[in-house]
Chain A
Amino acid sequence: MIRKLFLTFLLSTSILAGNVPAEGEAEVNSKIILRHFHQFTPKITSLIEYNWSQEELERKEKSLKLGFKYRVHNNVKLGIFYKRAYGLRHDDDWVWQNMKWLWNDTNSRGENILIGEAGYKKLFGNYIFETRLTYEHNFFNDHDAIKVRPGVTYLVLDEGAAFINLFLNYEAYLPLNFSEKSIYEQWIYAGLLYHYSDVIKPGVFYNFRKGYWTSSKDFKDKNLGKYEQTHSSHYLGVSLNIYY
């Protein structure tokens, strides 16, 4: 009798434990972006970018990106960057550990990412329309992805020079060799950049992120089938661009 009760209890707890990531409601997280630009020649600019964001519970994403942009044409720039990131979360971070399903703690896990990008800009009056294509290779898990980002910036001018930028971008992450989704993450970036001076340009922004968790390696190895869970977050952040 006691044995039957115990087995029933075990069965019910394993069902209730949740062997797939929880969907949950969209959270509001904070984010900081710091950028330094240096123009070596009229065509070559370097970029150092530090990103920090508070994610769900105790997870924090932070990264440092270094690289160069080259202006091949008045409207076209190519870029190449190296990024070192911490706190990133991937599908395979959903693991079976200590008799339960949980997310890996990745806060101290560094990942190296190679980035190549091409951007096209066109000016119509006070509007800049831009489309940017980015390729990323993550050396940690050999994931390759393409990001497509169309967007528009409206320039508020003062005496012929930009005074405030209002921007709105959409970005889609297209996985090339991972995930079960054709678009595994989507972003909306909206914000304002204030041209305080030629050197200092602070900004505020709102981001919305929507992604999909699909079956992790551990989940597949246990032959538990498949899952697809959405996750979303809002971000409110501040940025600071330095040109020196």
Chain B
Amino acid sequence: MLKIILMMSLISTTSARDIGKVIFVKGKVTNTVGKIKRLVKKNFIIQDKSTFETFKKALVVISLSDGSKIKLNELSKLAISVPKDKNSPTKTGLYKGSSFFQVIKNKMIKKDKFIVKTRQASLGVRGTQFFVSYGKKVKSKDSWMCVNKGLVSVKPKSSKKEVLVKAGEGVHIKDKNNVTPPKSLPWTKNLNWGFDRRKGKLDNTVSIEEAYGDILGQDYD
């Protein structure tokens, strides 16, 4: 009987594949795999097909087995899946909030190595550092994306049009059909791109409100 229990626990741990670990956490962060939700601490081992959720003033930095890093800001929710096949792309889904992504280029993969999906679009990445955020409303229909390094392709879900965004540029994904042409977005210049706590603070203090806030700053008379 004891042998059966041990065998079952061994099977359950090996079927939940480890895909990375948490390298920094601040505040309340949870990780959900299936129906099991756990509080996250540093060195937490991440299993495939898990979802992270950060609460107010919380932050988590994740290091994945494919070399990528993700910094999930407060009040955000992100699902992660890393395939066994190293030539297939890592997939993430951002459900709310905002996140920074750092993806190491894989010379073996000609297509996108990392995919981020939002409600409006799919972002394909080969080797880069970029930021994605939903708009200012809780259930916003729009989102923003800007690139710090590398190249990101943006494809709205209901459109065949693909937009390539270079370093220093960003786009406003208005809905499932529309994305603005890439251009420099002044409000993204102060984003905190850090992923290593030893090199400085990791908190991002730029609010998505500032993407819209230029309007109030402008004088007309």
Chain A residues within CB distance 8 Å of chain B: 35, 37, 42, 45, 47, 49, 69, 71, 74-75, 77, 121, 123, 128, 153, 155, 159-160, 162, 165, 167, 193, 201, 241
Contacts and interface: CB of A to CB of B under 8 A. Distances in A.
Contacts, number: 34
Point out which of A45, A155, A160, A201 has the most chain B C-beta atoms below 10 A from its C-beta.
A160
Q: Return the 7 tightest CB-CB contacts between A and B, nearest first.
A: A159-B180, A160-B172, A121-B216, A37-B219, A123-B216, A45-B219, A160-B180
Contacts of B213: 74
Nearest to B172: A160
B142 to A, nearest CB: 8
Nearest to A157: B215
Interface of B: 172, 174, 180-181, 211-213, 215-221
B215 A123 contact: yes
Contacts of B215: 123, 128, 155, 162
A45 B218 CA distance: 10
A35 B221 contact: yes
Judged by DSSP, the binding face of A is strand
Given A159-B181, A165-B220, 11 more contacts: A35-B221, A49-B221, A69-B219, A75-B216, A123-B212, A153-B220, A160-B174, A160-B211, A167-B220, A193-B220, A241-B220
B218 to A, nearest CB: 7
B219 A42 contact: no
A162 B180 contact: no
Nearest to B178: A159
A79 B221 CA distance: 11
Contacts of B219: 37, 45, 47, 69, 77
Nearest to B210: A74
B205 to A, nearest CB: 14
A77 B218 CA distance: 11
A71 B172 contact: no
B216 A128 contact: yes
B167 to A, nearest CB: 20
Point out which of B215, B216, B217, B220 has the most chain A C-beta atoms below 10 A from its C-beta.
B220
A105 to B, nearest CB: 30
Contacts of B218: 162
Nearest to A79: B219
Contacts of A162: 215, 218
Contacts of B220: 153, 165, 167, 193, 201, 241
A99 B29 CA distance: 88
A71 B212 CA distance: 16
9 contacts: A37-B219, A45-B219, A74-B213, A75-B216, A121-B216, A128-B216, A153-B220, A162-B215, A162-B218
A39 B219 CA distance: 10
Contacts of B221: 35, 49
A42 B180 contact: no
A42 B217 contact: yes
A116 to B, nearest CB: 16
Contacts of A37: 219
A72 to B, nearest CB: 12
Contacts of B217: 42, 71
